[in-house]
Chain A
Amino acid sequence: MAAPGVQQFDAEAVNAAETRELYQKRQQIYPKLAHGKFRFFKWAMMAIALGVYYLLPFVRWERGEGMPDQAVLVDFANSRFYFFFIEIWPNEIYYITGLLILASFGLFLATALFGRVWCGYACPQTVWTDLFIMVERFFEGDRNARMRLDKAKWSFDKAWRKISKHAVWLIIAAATGGAWILYFHDAFDLLENFFTGQAALSSYLFAGVLTFTTYTLAGTMREQVCIYMCPWPRIQGAMTDREALNVTYRFDRGEPRGRHKKGESWDERGDCIDCKQCVAVCPMGIDIRDGSQLECIQCALCIDACDDIMKKIERPTGLITYETDDNVDRYAAGEKPRYRFIRPRTLVYAGAFAIVALFMLGALVTREELQLNAQRDRNPNYVQLSDGSVRNGYNLKVVNKAGEPRELELTLEGADPAMQVRVLGAAADTPMRLPVGADQTQDFILYLTLPADAIDSQREEFVFRVTDPVTGETATTRSVLVTGVNP
């Protein structure tokens, strides 16, 4: 017999490398509940991730009169994106591109250092699947009970457990889809409208779609999402190397494996007693002892399971552990482990990350809240008036990204002093005053007329400038007046 408390599992890795076929019907995986520090860490990560996801839409952030006060808001109706103190306009969508680049370089770096930590702890697929398995375990029991229940004939007991499980899954899925839409409208308003049937059709549609995807991806598809749908396992294969920390089976310690009775000698054999606890807890249905593989999301639950056993059979823990491939080889050769976290690969990733981060920071710090664009009419290109003077029309676009309305002063720099300016709609006493509302883009129609005797070239170049007399902010744009004179 093995040491007390060690249960010998007759677990088969349903997704084991050897038995995998080119086409195989999916076999249900029944992950056993693990106990230990990584399981605790995963619970904590789940609580944080779900907490952020569900509570963030309700966090408020004061922005001033007439502006939304939701901290994180994607406002499609007014084409604005708000993230705490950051406000992004559609023409600043490259911030999002920058964020995505940051996220990918961050993932590259983390993967090169610690393997697939994203997959194992933070990926929504992992978090929600973990949550769904928790619900499943609550109603149907742990691995063996679930296997028995699935094999059992239909009975009242089986029916209520199954129905309750799916009901709770659906509630969670609906709450997931319901929280998603809160990021796109004011959360409190939308919640009220949603339940009184007043919300937009798109709200119900997206809530429904996300309910469906959450239910299927986390409830019924689970590991297949990671193995077949997600591109990241392939990409990460190129990101890790023999010096990255991965969840690894120490074959140098474990082999030759075999069952072990209490009191037997540990000489001439490995520490692995082939209890298959690592297989039983694996949510991906693999055997970590086959080495690192595409399916492994590195959730480290096998580490918890194995450490548990090692304590019981009084062997050192860490038979399965975060370790590099090179170090396992070194252990096998009787050498000391060496860790090289600073290596060309990590330096390149970290460098790229830093450059993009600096660029983004620079763009954010130097973000202008006042912008000016001038679009000269091309049709007609110019208008000759009866007295021989020439007029050009312009569409002046003033962008005010500040939360305050402004009264801007328009000036023309480098223009012929004889040039006459007419701003359509300007008050007679302040012909060069351009009022722009808070957080708005305002168009002005502008006519510039050059008298006949001042025309001396094909085109007159000048600069439009708007100045906020209150803050001193200013914005310029170059423009020309076409006279229609032949060269």
Chain B
Amino acid sequence: MSDKNEIDRDDHTGTETTGHEWDGIKELDTPLPRWWLYIFYATVVWAIVYMVFMPAIPGLPGMAADGDHTRGLRNHSERVNVVAALEALEASREAGYAALDGASISEIENDPQLLQFVTAAGDAAFGDNCATCHGAGGQGFVGYPNLNDDVWLWGGSYDAIRETLLYGIRAEHDMTRFSQMPAYGRDELLTTAEIEAVADHVLSLSGQGEGNAQGAQIYAQQCVTCHMEDGRGDRLQGAPNLTDREWLYGSSRDQVINSIYRGPYGVMPAWEGRLDDRTIDALAAYVFLLGGGEAATAGPTGQ
């Protein structure tokens, strides 16, 4: 190593060396490029400025009162921004919801702007809250009604759909709609043979199979209260029409037998209180407009 005060320079390039030497090979101490250095200095300055203006230092003593970090001169808070952004979003929907409020379904349908709003708002709310059971397109699954078709257990008018949404079916709500089909098999109200006979009769109501005289007799004793003599059901009790082609729990003989055996108990939660009223309005209109909505005066399917 050379004298400390003497700067060792490489003969060929004129660049300073680090003073390290291996077998006569010296390591050049090439300075950092200027542009790099200046950007580095700029980032240091930026960091200081940033700490002054923005929330930066966590965990200082005595900070718990207003949060656990320094607030900075700008008093910036991303959470406050999110709240403001959500409020702005709500405000931007205000006009749409105001138009929806109290509008009849035909008014919604005939106002292109309102129709578009309902479709968009309803679609979003449906995807968030309803699609888990009813499917993304409202197509339903076995045990979960298809909302596109014209079959409604409790009514398919705008108001009826709205009511179902608000109070639910067999839900924990004072005004919920309630009915219960007995579990004829599980509770041993009917024997297996009797259940099979009833199933054959029920299938014959919609034109499947030959029917069963014993089954018809049992039907007349056990089922007519809700499903009516002609099998067309009763909306007041949520009793499905047994004469059409739609089967919530399946149309095969085994599925029908299973339904009679266990007595289906489908639950739809009440959304009042969970969603605000105007979202429920939008959802009701959306479901109505999926194609199956019916006029307020319409009776049970097929009547």
Contact = CB atoms under 8 A, between A and B. Distances in A.
Interface of A: 377-380, 383-388, 391, 393, 424-425, 427, 442-443, 445, 447
B245 A384 contact: yes
B184 to A, nearest CB: 25
A212 B291 CA distance: 57
A391 B138 CA distance: 14
Contacts of A443: 116
B245 A391 contact: no
B272 interface: no
Contacts of A424: 109, 115, 289
A141 to B, nearest CB: 32
The A interface is mostly helix, strand or loop, or mixed, namely: loop
Interface stretch (B19-27, B77-85, B148-156, B273-281): B148-156
Contacts of A427: 110
Closest A-B pairs by Cβ, 9 of them: A379-B137, A380-B139, A386-B244, A383-B148, A386-B301, A380-B137, A425-B109, A388-B245, A385-B150
12 contacts: A379-B136, A380-B135, A383-B146, A383-B291, A385-B245, A386-B149, A387-B302, A425-B110, A425-B111, A425-B115, A427-B110, A447-B291
Nearest to A379: B137
B194 interface: no
Nearest to A449: B291
Contacts of B135: 379-380
B202 to A, nearest CB: 16
Given A386-B301, A445-B289, A380 B244 contact: no
Contact of B119 (A386, A445, A447): A445
A384 B246 contact: yes
Nearest to A388: B245
Nearest to A427: B110
B112 A425 contact: yes
Given A425-B109, A443-B116, A383 B289 contact: no
B241 interface: yes
B241 A386 contact: yes
A380 B246 contact: no
Contact of B149 (A377, A378, A379, A385): A385
A393 B246 contact: no
A463 B149 CA distance: 25
Interface in B128-144: 135-139
Contacts of A388: 245
The B interface is mostly helix, strand or loop, or mixed, namely: loop
A386 B245 contact: yes
A379 B146 CA distance: 11
Contacts, number: 60
Interface centre among B246, B290, B291 (most CB of A within 10 A): B291
A388 B112 CA distance: 31
Given A380-B138, A391-B149, A445-B119, 5 more contacts: A380-B139, A384-B246, A385-B245, A387-B302, A393-B291
Given A379-B136, A386-B246, A424-B115, A391 B110 contact: no
A391 B244 contact: no
A383 B150 CA distance: 9
A379 B141 CA distance: 13
Contacts of A386: 149-151, 241, 244-246, 301-302
A84 B131 CA distance: 49
Nearest to A442: B112
Nearest to A443: B116
Nearest to B246: A386
Interface centre among A391, A425, A427, A447 (most CB of B within 10 A): A425
A383 B290 CA distance: 10
B153 to A, nearest CB: 12
Interface string B240-253: 01001110000000
Interface string B78-111: 0000000000000000000000000000000111
A425 B149 CA distance: 19
Interface string B210-253: 00000000000000000000000000000001001110000000
A391 B246 CA distance: 14
A439 to B, nearest CB: 16
Contacts of B150: 385-386
A385 B148 CA distance: 9
Contacts of B246: 384-386
A379 B139 contact: yes
B137 A391 contact: no
Interface in B10-62: none
Nearest to A447: B291
Contacts of B148: 380, 383, 391, 393
Nearest to A437: B112
Contacts of A379: 135-137, 139
Contacts of A385: 149-151, 245-246
A377 to B, nearest CB: 7
Interface centre among B112, B136, B148 (most CB of A within 10 A): B148
Interface string B277-303: 000000000000111100000000110
A75 to B, nearest CB: 22
Interface centre among A386, A393, A424, A443 (most CB of B within 10 A): A386
Contacts of B151: 385-386
A391 B111 CA distance: 24
Nearest to B115: A425
Contacts of B137: 377-380
A380 B137 CA distance: 6
A391 B136 contact: no
Contacts of A377: 137
B107 to A, nearest CB: 10
B115 A384 contact: no
Contacts of B111: 425
A393 B244 CA distance: 22
Contacts of A380: 135, 137-139, 146, 148
A391 B290 CA distance: 11
A138 to B, nearest CB: 33
A425 B139 CA distance: 22
A383 B119 contact: no
A425 B115 CA distance: 8
Contacts of A393: 148, 290-291
A447 B291 CA distance: 7
Nearest to B300: A386
Nearest to A383: B148
A478 B301 CA distance: 33
